[in-house]
Structure 1
Amino acid sequence: MSHATDISTLLKWMAADFSNQAQAIENPPFFAHIRVCMRPLPSSFLPGGCLYLEQAYDFMLGQPYRVRVLRFLPQEDHILLENYTFKDQESVIGAAREQQKLTTIEADQLEKMPGCDMTVRWTGHSFIGKVVPGKNCMVVRKGKTSYLDNEFEITNDKLISYDRGRDPETDELLWGSIAGPFEFEKRQRFDHEVLV
C-alpha cells in the first residue's frame, strides 16, 4: 500500500524501460513505437529523488527527442515533480542504457524548465501526474509555440501518458495524442537501483 507522498514507490514504478509496441502494432496510423527509459540517479544528486529520462522512437534509440531529469519532492498531500533539461544534451545521451555514463551526470549540467512542474497524486492504486495549471510550460515545436498539456498515470506494471501541445491563444491541439493516451508496458525494470 502506498500513500500521497511515497516517493520511493513512485520512483520504483517509474524506473524502467517502457515500450508501447503492442499499441503501435495494433494502430500504426496513430501510434509510433516509442520507448521511454527512466533510470534512478544517486540519492546524493539533488534533495528528493531523481530519474534520468530518455524518450525516443524505437528505431532511433540513440537519438532521443526528449532528455530530462525528473525531480520528486514530497509536499503536504502530494508529490511535486520538477522537470529539468540539460545545458549540453549531447554530452549525456545514452546514459539511460549505459550505467557508467549515468554516473557521470552532475546537477550543475541541469536547467530547470520554468512553468513545467507537475502535481502527482496517489489515487489508491496508482499515481496520476498533471502539469500545474496556467499554460506556463512553453515548448517550440516545428516553429510553433505551444504549451504542454501533459498527464500520466503509473502503476507497478503500466505507464499511461497523454503527451500534448496546445495553442496558447485558442487551446487547439497542435501536436500529440489525438487517438487517446500512449500505453506503455515495462520491458526492463530498474526498481532495484532506487535508493530513496
Structure 2
Amino acid sequence: MNFSPQLIALGEYLAGEFDNREQAIADPAWYVHLRLWQRPVDLFTEDSITLFAEQANVINLDQPYRQRIMRLCQGRDFDAPLEVQYYMLQDPGAFKGAGCNPALLNILTPDKLDLLPGCILTVTQEKLASDRYKFIATPLPETRCSFTYLGNVVYVSLGFEATATEFQSHDKGIEPATGKATWGAIMGPYRYTKRNHYSIG
C-alpha cells in the first residue's frame, strides 16, 4: 500500500532510540533518566507502520519494561488524518530486551497481541518547514485506555508530540477511584532526544 507522506514522516520520527538525559539532569526529583526504544516490526504492513516500544532506567538497562505495540495508520477523519492504535503483548517477558536485541521480534506475530480498543490516539500535524512536521497525538473523546496486567486493571492516559529530533511522552498511569496520575508524566511530558534512528523501510 502507498502510505501518505505524513504517515511515513510519523513513522520515521517515532522509530529510533531516545533518552531524556538533559531533562533528568535538570530535574532529577521528577524525571528518571530513561532510555526508550521504538523499533519497526513487520506487522500489519498492508495498511500500517508498526513499532515495538520498550523503555528502561539507564542504570538498569538489562531490566526493560512497559513493552507495547504502536500501529500507525491513516485516520478516518479529515481533521485527524492519522491514528495510533495500541496493542498489548500477551507474553511481554518473551520479548523483554527486544529494544536492544531486535532479533527477538522475528517471532512476533499478530496472534501474540491483544488489541486495546480504548487505547487509540488521533494524530494531527503542524508543518514546520517544507518537509518537516510536528505531530500531536491525543486520545479520542469519551475513550478510556485500560487493560489487565498481573490481575489488576490498569488505566493509562496516553499522548505524545514528535518532531524529527524530539519525542515528548505525556503517558500517565491513572488511579481509577480519584482520576489522579500516579506515575509517568505527572509534572509535564518526558522530553526525549533521538540518539539513533531506525529505518522503517
TM-score tier, shorter chain, comes to 0.7 to 0.9
Distance 2:43 2:112 in 1: 17
Kindly state the Cα deviation for residue 139 of structure 1 after the two structures are TM-superposed: 5.2
Amino acid paired to 1:134: E
- Given the superposition, is the C-alpha separation of residues 15 and 28 from structure 1 closer, same or farther in structure 2, using an over 3 Å criterion? same
**The 10-residue stretch of structure 1 (30-39 or 59-68) with the greater mean CA deviation from structure 2:** 59-68
CA contact 1:135–1:148 (8 Å) conserved in 2: no
> 1:104-183 maps to which residues of 2 (within 5 A)?
104-124=107-127, 125-138=133-146, 147-183=155-191
Distance 1:135 1:146 in 2: 14
Q: Determine helix, strand or coil for the equivalent of 1:119.
A: strand
- Given the superposition, is the C-alpha separation of residues 90 and 189 from structure 1 closer, same or farther in structure 2, using an over 3 Å criterion? same
> 1:88-107 maps to which residues of 2 (within 5 A)?
88-107=91-110
RMSD: 2.5
Structure 2: runs of 5 or more not aligned: 128-132
Amino acid paired to 1:128: I
Kindly state the Cα deviation for residue 46 of structure 1 after the two structures are TM-superposed: 5.8
Amino acid paired to 1:92: F
Amino acid paired to 2:50: C
User: Could you tell me the percent identity over the aligned residues?
Assistant: 29
CA contact 1:45–1:106 (8 Å) conserved in 2: no
TM-score by length of 1: 0.85
Greater share of residues in strand = 2
Structure 1: runs of 5 or more not aligned: none
Q: Determine helix, strand or coil for the equivalent of 1:187.
A: strand
- Given the superposition, is the C-alpha separation of residues 47 and 177 from structure 1 closer, same or farther in structure 2, using an over 3 Å criterion? same
Q: Of 149, 168, 186, which residue of structure 1 is paired with 2:194? A: 186
- Runs ≥4 residues deviating over 6 A: 140-144
Amino acid paired to 1:81: V
Kindly state the Cα deviation for residue 132 of structure 1 after the two structures are TM-superposed: 1.9
Kindly state the Cα deviation for residue 142 of structure 1 after the two structures are TM-superposed: 11
Kindly state the Cα deviation for residue 120 of structure 1 after the two structures are TM-superposed: 1.1
1:81 matched to 2:97? The reply is no
